[in-house]
Chain A
């Protein structure tokens, strides 16, 4: 496994942010419905992201990306599968898998997806060889997560 420590810590911190986001939004979903709660989170998230963009250029005096290319049109559609996720998760959590099973199999899907993208270099990402250390880490983290959700998360 290679990569700078700052990137590793940022990725771990991103996961922490995600967990807090899910905890907050789960509370809202309990008082309403998953799709409505996700709609609220996307709306407030858009406002927050706009503040981040504006704050960055205000504080640092220049936009965050030096090369202001537009990028391919398909790259703008990340919000669609992200929003669909909420709908599908609502279906499976209400079925025999319940919440823990849903989380576990969604993690499996994420790991498969990561392997496929690294191998093929899809979506403009660099093609990477999967090392033994990468696969061992993925296996251990996945196994630990499944234990965690099986134990009542």
Chain B
């Protein structure tokens, strides 16, 4: 259990590392080119990993609904947007705002697309997230930006 917790936290560090490298590249070549390099390098890396493990699953994947194939489209936009704002907002603030947008949208997708009605715990969670984000924004305004 402790090992899995450490592994999951380490995984979060890897996400941060990936976004920071993309943010730094975006400062030099522009956020959209950074998104292109991120996807190209990741694609090469995963191609090698799949070649080693033999995990090609095209036969079963073709049965997935069309929307299942659109992830990369949104992913490319995500990396570009994240790389654009990270050098301006700072790493922690960017991470916190992205988590806020991700959690609220994730709940909405589950609710509207998958029909999973959120419970009270989840409404409490969303309230805390929005409270955290907007109280911080107000504090920024009070301190004269």
Expressed in whole angstroms, the minimum distance between the Cβ of A153 and any Cβ of chain B is: 6
Q: Which residues of A contact B145 (CB under 8 A)?
A: 2-3
Question: A76 to B12, Cβ gap below 8 A?
Answer: no
Expressed in whole angstroms, the minimum distance between the Cβ of B80 and any Cβ of chain A is: 6
B interface SS class: helix
Question: B14 to A84, Cβ gap below 8 A?
Answer: yes
> In the complex, what residue of chain A is closest to B47 when comparing beta carbons?
A39
A20–B139 Cα distance when bound, in Å, is 30
> In the complex, what residue of chain A is closest to B130 when comparing beta carbons?
A144
Q: Which residues of B contact A11 (CB under 8 A)?
A: 81-82, 85, 89, 93-94, 97-98, 101
Expressed in whole angstroms, the minimum distance between the Cβ of A102 and any Cβ of chain B is: 5
> In the complex, what residue of chain A is closest to B41 when comparing beta carbons?
A79
Question: A32 to B57, Cβ gap below 8 A?
Answer: yes
Residues of chain A at interface, number, CB under 8 A: 120
A33–B49 Cα distance when bound, in Å, is 13
Question: B23 to A125, Cβ gap below 8 A?
Answer: yes
Question: B77 to A48, Cβ gap below 8 A?
Answer: yes
A140–B125 Cα distance when bound, in Å, is 9
Expressed in whole angstroms, the minimum distance between the Cβ of B36 and any Cβ of chain A is: 4
A interface SS class: helix
Q: Which residues of A contact B35 (CB under 8 A)?
A: 45, 49, 52
Selected from B11, B20, B128, the residue in CB contact (under 8 A) with A140 is B128
- A residues within 8 Å of B by Cβ? 1-4, 7-8, 10-25, 27-28, 30-33, 35-50, 52-53, 56, 63-65, 67-72, 74-89, 91-92, 95-97, 101-102, 104-115, 117-118, 122-126, 128, 130, 133-134, 136-153
- B residues within 8 Å of A by Cβ? 1, 4-5, 7-25, 27-47, 49-50, 53, 55-58, 60-61, 63-65, 67-82, 84-107, 109-110, 113, 116, 118-122, 124-133, 135-137, 139-140, 143, 145
For this complex, 14 residue pairs linking A to B, each with C-beta atoms less than 8 Å apart, are A11-B81, A15-B99, A18-B74, A20-B74, A24-B70, A32-B57, A36-B50, A64-B30, A64-B31, A79-B41, A82-B38, A111-B12, A114-B96, A148-B126
The 10 closest A-B pairs by CB, nearest first: A109-B12, A15-B101, A140-B132, A71-B28, A113-B16, A44-B72, A144-B128, A151-B121, A79-B42, A79-B41
